Amino acid sequence: MTTARDIMTPGAECIDADSTVLEAAEKMARLDVGALPICGSLQATSSG
């Protein structure tokens, strides 16, 4: 069975929950990605 670890990108970038849409768009353009996970203050991915 495929696990999340199997398909995740190592060293993935995230964006802080308090960042603006413009900051997120600029970071996505700079990284050439179509999405960023949202991270909290401890850089742990937020699920909601």
In the structure, what pLDDT confidence band is assigned to residue 42 with cuts at 50, 70 and 90?
low
Residue 48 above 70 pLDDT?
A: no
Q: What is the pLDDT of residues 4-36, one digit of tens each?
A: 889 888 888 999 999 999 999 999 999 999 999
- The angle formed by the CA atoms of residues 23, 28 and 31, to the nearest 5 degrees, is 125
**Which amino acid, 2?**
T
Backbone angles phi, psi at 12, to 5 degrees: -60, 145
For the entire predicted model, the pTM comes to: 0.65
